[in-house]
Amino acid sequence: MLESIYRAAGFARGIVYFASSGHFAERIQVNRQCIAPEDVARLVEELRAAPVFFRRGEACPTFFEAVTVMALKYFTEQRCDLVVWETGLGGRLDATKYCNSSGQHHH
């Protein structure tokens, strides 16, 4: 519903769905256009090359964390005015949680 309101208002919109019918590209959309397979491949390669994201001896990012970083980068590249983001239920491993500088968790 929010996406359709923003569409009618003329905003460039990013949208993220974590539930999918099986096609990864529909998870990340800009203006209702799924991310192109070439962009998915490029973003995965950029993510894999980021040393801060894959530190030796530390756990690799979860699927949700990787998709979150990819989507944020893509939306920045596409100059979205706003993003409608499907969020989880706020569990300990929810990729849509963040911690501010005071250590408080937010969704």
pLDDT digits (tens, 9 = 90+) for 25-40: 889 999 999 999 999 9
Instruction: Please calculate the CA angle 22-59-101 and round it to the nearest 5 degrees.
Output: 100
pLDDT one-digit tens code per residue, 40-69:
999 999 988 877 666 666 667 778 888 889
Domains contained in the chain, number: 1
**Residue pair 6/13 in contact by the 8 Å Cβ criterion:** yes
What's the CATH code of the domain at 43?
3.40.1190.10
Q: Which domain holds residue 95?
A: 2-106
- Within 10 angstroms of residue 29's Cβ, the number of other Cβ atoms is 20
